[in-house]
Structure 1
Amino acid sequence: MLLIIPFHIPYISGKENEYIANVIAKKSFSGIGDYHHKAIQLLKGLTKVESIYLTTSCTSALEIAALALDIQTGDEVILPSFTFVSTANAFALRGAKLLFADIDEHSLNISLQEIERLTTANTKAIVVVHYNGYSDNISQIKEFAQNNNIFLIEDAAQAINGYCNNEHLGTFGDIGCISFHETKNIHCGEGGCILVNNQNLIDKIEHIIEKGTNRLDFLKSKTKFYEWKDLGFSADMDEIRAAFLTAQLEDIQKVTNQRMRNLLHNLSQLQNVPNRLQPDYLPTEKYFAQTNAHILWGLSKNREQLIQNFKTAGITVYSHYTPLHLSSFGKQFYESPLPVTEKVSRQIVRFPVHTKFSI
């Protein structure tokens, strides 16, 4: 029987059971416990951001961002179509007019030229997605957003321990959102965090996370009681997941290094496999070395056959996003073709790169 190599195996450090047992022993399970604080301190050390909040998911972090920016019906938000639906949902839920931008074929990230083309007097926010924990133009996009008084949100779901010019991704914009879903390099099953780089947004974000109340001020002894202050929802990560996440964060560099070794090895192997297993295009080693080794990808004009060939060889490989502007719901925001996005979505193939596997 052929052994099927899975596309992804979630990382386990070995300390998760111990930390979760400590939570159970203390009988305190909701958010803002010891492990909650430990996880945040580890994230502060990694990102150099002072205002960080753990959330139930990166999706909820993005929804907090949209609410914090007071997105209203008709406000224009520029974002890539080549992304997970949560990027768009967060702003569509607030009534925003979504303007889908094309991506660069080599980075798979939104291009500055597209942002400039789509910007109008009604543009309220730009949302960048750091595909594969990589960016080569975030500084230029930040400068453009500041010069035009536009909020900049970083969907850094895939970007834990990813950098541009030695600065952690998610720290350039007004807000950065990171995912700890089990498909990411490190995880807590389902979770996320929000990095707040615009100090003017902190109070509102703290209210939103705590169901619209100033409970965090109460816990910091800044007020004698807490009350309903704004719109909000339950978005704070519980202590069990925070304990799991702490165990993972303690190993973040180990995980990144192991994934990078495996990625570069697998990339070398893909360059030398039989033609039936070779994609038509692979990014360079230089590109991958600037990522956090989240995704090993290539492009194939005959993708379905390539996927089947790898399946026959016992290796699971996948395609990726259906462009949002071509989806059944996203078509309402369709304004013009996005040729690079559409080509990449037809041809992209993702290969295993987790810590347990080398080709």
Structure 2
Amino acid sequence: MLNVLAATQDIAVDGWALTMLSRRNVGWASTCNSVGQTAGYFLGNVLFLALESADFCNKYLRSEPKETGLVTLASFLYFWGIVFFTTTTLVWIFKHESDDPDADSEQSIIDTYKQLIRVIQLPAVISYAVIILTAKVGFSAADSLTGLKLIESGMQKQTLALFAIPMIPIQIVLPLIISKFTAGPKPMNVFLRAMPFRLMLGLLYAFIVWLSSQVQETKGNFPTYFYALILCSYAIHQVALYSMFVSQMAFHAKISDPAIGGTYMTLLNTLANLGGNWPATVALWLVEGLTWKSCHGGPGQCASTAETEACTSAGGNCQTEIDGYYIESFLCVVIGIFWFLWRQKRVRQLDRLPLDAWKCS
């Protein structure tokens, strides 16, 4: 039920942005989107992890140590549930909208879905769907596995989450800067320019993961320069990520048909989210299969659960010879480079299409 209500509001807000802003300024909707998501991520992830951690609270916020953090998941959700309900109610009471001349007020839900089916059948939409469903394959290993590998190397989750705090000013200011370029007629230019930098970060992240096992002083403690390296690479990653995100959202706002604006834009955003989620899922699934382990002090290999148990029961232990993360990182970057060379021309063509090519009405 929570997801249904959140999705409903998401569609309404997308449509609201398209009708509230003029066609000339509709690209700024992506700025509002990215700044809002940044604030939400910080409050719901970084802030919660810090306040829920007993170690963090005892070290930085308390004079007397306790076994629990300042907040629990239940109290955190309860508080923000009240805030969410209050702000939504205030918007409902005080914000009044004028009729949109481009929208069909007589259109029923069934008619909207019929029109959405016609949208999906548009050649431009089909071509763009293929692009956004495959564009993030090159980043999947770096984005989904690097944090897990650093934690596996000994870095604490709270420490890793704290790296997001210095990024907040960048994440808020960056969309405002990028919007000067994405609010124009060709927002996807920024997307293409940022992509090579983000691909190369996949190799840098692989190097950082390898370096973590070499420079770790004691369990969970690393030298200052290593933290600085992570922070700098993360900052570059955020610049590339937000450049691609804001430009993509601006493009969605530009091409969405105002007749079904919220539904159209949410369809594109859903495809974009799916294009990020399925490569990450596949990357997580493949990494174990690409990892080569051998049994030291016992018979056989450790290619399966049964072989691992046999090795352990014989007094041996499984040791990783080649971590699948490094293989996957390299393969993803190679795939990303080929994708970029293959699809960049088509992306530019879609960016230049007239708005009528995206309309079904």
Q: TM-score range by the shorter chain?
A: under 0.3
Higher Rg of the two aligned structures: 2
TM-score when normalising by structure 2: 0.22
Higher relative contact order (CA 8 A, sep 6+): 2
By percentage of residues, which structure has more helix? 2
